[in-house]
Chain A
């Protein structure tokens, strides 16, 4: 049994993005998803500072500090891109025009609550950014995260311990061990890591798991990067 790397989690999440959709990627792991865009599908990445059509990171020669994404990275634009102001960018989000948002998470509850913005750091200020708007507005909210903390505590739980980002908003979670949907009645496992038993997955989870009929095997190609 070999848990998925961060890059493999990103790869797996990318496989579910459909042709023609508008997708917003949160900071951290989700930004890796852009690297694994399936070649046979065309979709547009939305950035909360007003871009629809974010392209790859800019090379040193292309880098221009007037062209940045939500993570302050210098980026390029793809053909068909547009730029608007922030109020418009959030109208796209809140108005339900963004099809999918992929976000990082600290915890997801079995009723779809997400905690991902306030780690209660004792020496740093808070940062909420656009996460609360994204979970309130995007048509589908998907979370990528490790199945447990470094200390082994579950991140899929009955009730979140960290401050909430949204209530009942998460549709699907991609972890290093499983793909889990949030449905009426709790978590449903869609895919489980090769070589991991259902009992072992349940032990690493803080809420009751049900397994989908035809629950598949979670696998990803070997990829560079951790």
Chain B
């Protein structure tokens, strides 16, 4: 019987060790996998690569992850904390202790999608002539210069959704979905946290992430703070 549900955060993160790369879903606070991030903070793995659109959610909710300098590289489109202060990750980046690969958000989404779809690279007009495509192969298509971008895959993906079923099918609410479908496709182990992991199947035409892309589902109480967008 297919049942992808696990009963502990330890089981959800099994196999995640030093040097792991992790795709983390979420945008504007919606769909950020807060419980899995908290578990990552507790687990203590180091030398991590995080692929996450906006870093501030990690720093705001799990300050030990950057505070203990456990991340060596971040791939993102937003590496600025709220307010005038300099956060841990900003300080580490300014001091040259943290590598941040800044990627235009649409290129970020497409690189991850391509990774999951078996497309190793693609050409896009985004960012041509800017410092974010410096050193990349440029080719002209239909008179327009485009930059080659490589696909992204990773060891793990962390996703938060309204609901999952035991087959690993996932359904989002509102704007929870954002990067998570692409990320589920691009990870070797995709873990979904949800407040509702059901025996009943989600109606097939209401599935947002087909279970084929999902490996572990953990049901737990909603761990999101009251105003996640303000982290």
Interface residues of A, Cβ cutoff 8 Å to B: 48-51, 64-74, 83-87, 89-90, 93-94, 113, 122-133, 136-137, 163-167
Contact = CB atoms under 8 A, between A and B. Distances in A.
B143 interface: no
B224 interface: yes
8 contacts: A48-B105, A69-B28, A83-B177, A85-B177, A87-B181, A123-B94, A127-B77, A164-B130
B174 A136 contact: no
Contact of B178 (A49, A93, A163, A167): A49
Contact of B106 (A66, A68, A69, A133): A133
A86 B94 CA distance: 29
B230 A72 contact: yes
A163 B127 CA distance: 11
Contacts of B105: 48, 86, 90, 128-130, 133
A198 B28 CA distance: 44
Given A90-B105, A167-B128, A85 B100 contact: no
B80 A126 contact: yes
Nearest to B56: A125
A68 B173 CA distance: 11
* Contact-size category for B: 35 or more
Contact of B80 (A65, A67, A125, A130): A125
Given A68-B30, A125-B89, A127-B78, 8 more contacts: A66-B30, A72-B29, A86-B27, A94-B126, A125-B55, A136-B128, A137-B106, A166-B130
B23 interface: no
B130 A90 contact: no
A127 B104 CA distance: 9
A101 B120 CA distance: 30
A97 to B, nearest CB: 13
